[in-house]
Structure 1
Amino acid sequence: MAPPSKDDDEECHTPTAKESKLPSTTQSCPPAPRKPGKARRCKRRLWPDAELIEIRAEEMEQVFGSRGQWSHAKKRS
């Protein structure tokens, strides 16, 4: 191996020795991502002690307004 000259010290070079090379790896692609699992349905009731309440039509109209207010709503005949 020849001693480096002054011109070689000022420039950068890529090492080409066999010891400097990275080991080759197999050229295979990673596996495809898996689909997320489906959520399991729970057969148990979430609210076992649910209580039903009755609401009169007048109370519903006070909260949501009367049916006649919305012109785009279809009326049943």
Structure 2
Amino acid sequence: MARKDDPQTVEYETKAKNLLKSELKRKGVTYAQLAERLAAMDIHETERNLNNKISRGGFTAAFFLQCLAAIGTASLQLDG
């Protein structure tokens, strides 16, 4: 298992964080709106918690996919 301070782990956490932030911006969705949309999916996160979790970048793949579903992202461009 990769350590939290492993450079590759940090690199991919940063990529995931930036992808999620980019999608939120592209869709015009705020953290408050994301919290509401997740709540509608029975996933309860506060705006502040979302901000902290996304800023850190150390979230699960499940959380990442839940957020993408909540903002209506059906596909994602990983490079370029």
Give the TM-score, by structure 1 length.
0.20
- Structure with more contact order per residue of length (Cα contacts < 8 Å, sep ≥ 6): 2
Higher helix share: 2
Q: TM-score, normalised by structure 2?
A: 0.20
